[in-house]
Amino acid sequence: MRKAIEHLKAADPVLAGMIETVGPCRMQYYDPSFASLASSIVYQQLSGRVAAAIEARVAAAMPEGRITPEGVMGLEPERLRACGLSGQKTKYLRHLAECTLSGEVDFACLEGLDDEAVIEHLTRVKGVGVWTAHMFLMFTLKRPDVLPVGDLGIRMAMKKHYRMRQLPKPARMEKVAARWRPWRSVACWYLWRSLEAERAE
């Protein structure tokens, strides 16, 4: 991680300021599994606190005490809804479980695929879009050079720190982030944390 921080601070003075404000990088990673992608579905368009509570209730409803494809398919949709999942997310979670059990989604093979192939593999699941696949690449597969151009937090942070008049579109984001390569994932972590630091002030 030290190599990434040194590169980013030298490459981009704006980002260097964020790094000084936020402090050490503490990216949290998750095991490459069904549960990780299921968690991403639960967290879509929800605050972290609300999503964590729902995820905990869903896990508690499973026989194993954690979210598994067998556990999801063993529960009636109404039971998942009672945990706080929307009807749409219930359908997404069940489709992910079905794809996992059938082998259409193979988590064991993902480590050996490049980023684009991982995105293609995961987005065949209903409810798993490019943003969700980007999060999986960053926080589950630990890919160091991912730029989630569809993430609102990244766009907001870029707009503020790089003094843009409007939220940047993907092409502008790619241009700003070009100097961060090959550590764009770490840079994005600092952009997210910079917004949190401001809210805490």
CATH code of 187's domain: 1.10.1670.40
**201 pLDDT exceeds 90?**
no
Specify the CATH number for the domain of residue 79.
1.10.340.30
Query: Which of 186, 155, 201, 199 has the alpha carbon at shortest distance from 1?
Result: 186
Share of the chain above pLDDT 70, in %: 98
Rounded mean pLDDT, 81-96: 95
User: Quick check: 154 and 148 in contact, CB under 8 A?
Assistant: yes
Please check whether residues 61 and 89 belong to one and the same domain.
yes
What local confidence, expressed as pLDDT, does residue 199 receive? Answer: 57
How many CB atoms sit inside 10 A of residue 180's CB? 21
pTM: 0.86
Q: Count how many domains the chain has.
A: 2
* 25 close to 189: Cβ distance less than 8 angstroms: yes
**Same domain as 87, residue 24:** no
What pLDDT, on the 0 to 100 scale, is given for residue 192? 93
Which residue type, as a one-letter code, is found at position 123? Answer: T
Distance (Å, rounded) from C-alpha 73 to C-alpha 57?
16
Kindly tell me if the per-residue pLDDT of 200 is higher than 70.
no
DSSP secondary structure code for residue 113 in this structure: S
Please give the residue range of the domain that contains residue 118: 34-139
Work out the pLDDT band at 67, boundaries 50, 70, 90: very high
Residue 109 has pLDDT above 60, yes or no: yes
| Nearest-5° Cα angle at 84, 35 to 66 | 25
- Mean local confidence (pLDDT), 86-94: 95
Same domain, 85 and 16: no
What is the structure's pLDDT at 64?
Answer: 85
Whether residue 178 sits in one domain with residue 154: yes
Same domain, 169 and 89: no
Same domain, 107 and 19: no
Same domain, 20 and 39: no
Q: Does 71 score more than 60 pLDDT?
A: yes
Task: Give 129: exposed, middle or buried? Use CB within 10 Å, 0-12, 13-18, 19+.
Answer: middle
Q: In residues, how long is the chain? A: 201
